[in-house]
Amino acid sequence: MKPSHIEHIGIAVSNLETSINFYEKVLGLKCYNIEEVADQKVKTAFIMVGETKIELLESTDPEGPVGKFIEKRGEGIHHIAFAVEKIEDHLEYAETMGVKLIDHTPRKGAEGLDIAFLHPKSTSGVLIELCQSKTSRRQK
């Protein structure tokens, strides 16, 4: 039981359009999707570089997780997301290993993924997201 790959790297940004411009105009990459995740109080933009996905996160509410993060720390890397197959098993195991869970059960994230977060205080200061696609759920 281990993650198969890094599903995405989440970057907190003040302005989605400005950041997309950087990735497109300076790095020559392409934003392929913009999606609002109301539950997480963010608007997200997705960019692929090779097999790695970058998720730009603009807050839609200053009291949301990304709004608070930017207020406290400014723009920057916000989380790393690992792709897993049996997300509930990973959460249960992490908890038995003493990790503080933010989500005890998965919730719906962008692009239809089931997602759950581990608290950065238990993970050397990095907010870790576990995510599972519908496809891998069907294969369970």
> Which residues of this chain interact with ligand CMX, rule CB under 6 A?
10, 37, 40, 42, 44, 55, 57, 65-66, 68-69, 72, 78-79, 102, 109-110, 117, 119-120, 125, 127
- Minimum gap (Å) between residue 15 Cβ and ligand CMX: 17
**What are the Cα distances from residue 94, in Å, to 79, 87, 119, 132, 140?**
17, 11, 11, 16, 19
Closer residue to ligand CMX in complex, CB, 108/140: 108
Select 46 or 85, whichever has its Cβ closest to ligand CMX: 46
Cβ proximity to ligand CMX, 8 vs 26, nearer residue: 8
Given the complex with ligand CMX, which of 25 and 59 has the nearer CB atom? 59
Residue where the block lists tokens 């238990």: 122
Q: Please, what's the b/e burial string for 87-113 (b: 16 or more CB within 10 A of its CB; e: otherwise)?
A: bbebbeebeeeeeebebeebeebbbeb
Residue nearest to ligand CMX (CB): 65
Q: Minimal CA–CA distance to 66: which of 77, 76, 58?
A: 58
Q: How far is the CB of 104 from ligand CMX (least distance, A)?
A: 12
Residue at token pair 């990973």: 90
Closest separation in Å from C-beta 38 to ligand CMX? 11
